């Protein structure tokens, strides 16, 4: 994924001071550099591919330098790899920086925000935009605040189950195709493709607009995925987990997410099962595990029985 300097200018309403020809440069990393060492002349490990953020500290030191050194430092700062240089706090941009940026087509931007505040906001924006992405075939629903990704073979009833959940007051995020991005190591966010926003496909009916039918409260644009439920047709020869002691995981990008497999057959209310699964997942995160409690009670009963057998 890539972000252009022009997108950052528009996002944060920055002023383009110089280096207009480089406005289309790509930003490929969310890391931001404060070039204090570079101002002092140390360019051995200069991270030229990062956005360079200059604040009051850097500029006050820069003003102490001789004129020739000012020109030299700014020319080195404006490398052919540098996507942009941002001057914060509305500070005056040095003429040496303007000349160097125009010479090497490096855009110099200005913002009235404080240095630390802008650095934090820009980092968050870049991390979100540059996050690894993937697409998964399934339905993403917000059930009791839990982002539940429903997957399974075509025709197993994913969309119909989602419709039942929506009727019960839960919210649709995406149907058919879920676009996923990993914002941090264990944070997976799902959203719909723009073409499929608010839409749900029901076989026999066709495409329906959930927001039009159920209102704005029935949808949400994004949701963190914390639970995956796979629907599969009931297989009488397969042994399904009846206690819930073994927790299965599914890896999406670089994050492992808890996965449950629910067999589907006539008479099973899958939407209710998913509601219970979401509530049970929340209880587990709060430290309440019914399966472990049952196992503990069973161990106690067995221990008591063994003691009685010894007498």
The answer on 140 and 111 residing in a single domain is no
pLDDT band, very low/low/confident/very high, at 155 (cuts 50, 70, 90): confident
Strand pairing class (108-110; 177-184): unpaired
Q: How confident is the model at residue 244, as a pLDDT? A: 61
Residue 307 lies in a domain: no
Query: How many domains does the chain contain in total?
Result: 2
Are 41 and 74 in contact by the 8 Å Cβ rule? The answer is no
pLDDT band, very low/low/confident/very high, at 291 (cuts 50, 70, 90): low
Is 156 known as a binding-site position?
yes
Q: How confident is the model at residue 287, as a pLDDT? A: 78
Residue 308 lies in a domain: no
pLDDT band, very low/low/confident/very high, at 143 (cuts 50, 70, 90): very high
Q: How confident is the model at residue 150, as a pLDDT? A: 96
Question: What is the C-alpha to C-alpha distance for residues 219 and 203, in angstroms, rounded to an integer?
Answer: 20
- Read off the pLDDT of residues 87-136 as tens digits, 9 standing for 90 and up: 999 999 999 999 999 999 999 999 999 999 999 999 999 988 888 889 99
Q: How confident is the model at residue 286, as a pLDDT? A: 81
Question: What is the C-alpha to C-alpha distance for residues 80 and 75, in angstroms, rounded to an integer?
Answer: 10
Is 158 known as a binding-site position?
yes
CATH number, domain with residue 73: 3.40.1390.20
The residues annotated as belonging to the active site are: 137, 158, 176, 242
Cα–Cα distance list, 53 to 87, 168, 265 (Å): 6, 50, 59
Q: How confident is the model at residue 238, as a pLDDT? A: 74
Q: How confident is the model at residue 311, as a pLDDT? A: 59
Place of tokens 């039009």: 212
Question: What is the C-alpha to C-alpha distance for residues 267 and 246, in angstroms, rounded to an integer?
Answer: 26
The answer on 22 and 142 residing in a single domain is no
Residue 240 lies in a domain: yes
The answer on 190 and 174 residing in a single domain is yes
Q: What's the CA dihedral at 158, 159, 164, 165 to 10 degrees?
A: 80
CATH number, domain with residue 207: 3.40.50.300
Residue where a domain terminates, one of 129, 164, 184: 129
Q: What's the CA dihedral at 274, 278, 284, 286 to 10 degrees?
A: -160
Residue 301 lies in a domain: no
How many CA atoms lie less than 13 Å away from 65 in the CB half-sphere?
Answer: 20
pTM strictly above 0.85: no
- Read off the pLDDT of residues 210-232 as tens digits, 9 standing for 90 and up: 999 999 999 999 999 999 999 99
The answer on 286 and 153 residing in a single domain is yes
The set of residues, in sequence order, having a beta carbon less than 8 Å from that of 284 and lying 6+ positions away, is none
- Read off the pLDDT of residues 229-250 as tens digits, 9 standing for 90 and up: 999 988 777 776 666 666 789 9
Q: How many CB atoms lie within 10 A of CB 53?
A: 22
Does the pLDDT value for residue 70 go beyond 80? Answer: yes
Q: How confident is the model at residue 284, as a pLDDT? A: 83
The answer on 268 and 169 residing in a single domain is yes
Domain extent for 65: 3-129
Is 55 known as a binding-site position?
no
The answer on 192 and 86 residing in a single domain is no
Is 68 known as a binding-site position?
no
């Amino acid at each position: 994924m890539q972000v252009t300097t022009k997108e950052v200018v528009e996002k944060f309403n920055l002023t383009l001071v110089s280096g207009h020809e480089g406005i289309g440069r790509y930003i490929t990393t969310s890391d931001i550099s404060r070039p204090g060492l570079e101002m002092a002349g140390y360019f051995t490990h200069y991270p030229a591919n990062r956005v360079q953020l200059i604040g009051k500290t850097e500029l006050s030191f820069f003003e102490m330098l001789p004129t020739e050194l000012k020109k030299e430092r700014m020319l080195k700062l404006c490398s052919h790899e540098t996507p942009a240089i941002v001057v914060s706090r509305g500070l005056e941009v040095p003429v040496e920086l303007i000349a160097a940026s125009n010479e090497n087509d490096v855009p110099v931007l200005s913002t009235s925000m404080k240095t630390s505040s802008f650095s934090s906001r820009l980092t968050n924006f870049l991390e979100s935009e540059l996050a690894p992405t993937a697409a998964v075939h399934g339905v993403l629903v917000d059930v009791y605040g839990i982002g539940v990704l429903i997957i399974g073979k075509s025709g197993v009833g994913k969309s119909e189950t989602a419709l039942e959940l929506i009727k019960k007051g839960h919210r649709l995020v995406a149907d058919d195709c879920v676009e996923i991005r990993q914002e941090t190591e264990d944070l997976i966010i799902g959203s719909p493709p723009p073409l499929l926003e608010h839409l749900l496909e029901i076989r026999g009916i066709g495409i329906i607009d959930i927001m039009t039918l159920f209102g704005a409260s029935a949808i949400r644009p994004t949701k963190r995925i914390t639970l995956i439920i796979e629907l599969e047709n009931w297989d009488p020869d397969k042994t399904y987990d009846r206690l819930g002691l073994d927790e299965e995981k599914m890896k999406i990008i670089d994050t492992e997410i808890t996965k449950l497999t629910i067999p589907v057959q006539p008479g099973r209310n899958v939407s209710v099962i998913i509601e219970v699964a979401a509530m049970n997942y929340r209880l587990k995160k709060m430290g309440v595990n019914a399966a472990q409690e049952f196992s503990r009670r069973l161990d106690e009963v067995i221990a008591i029985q063994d003691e009685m057998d010894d007498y």
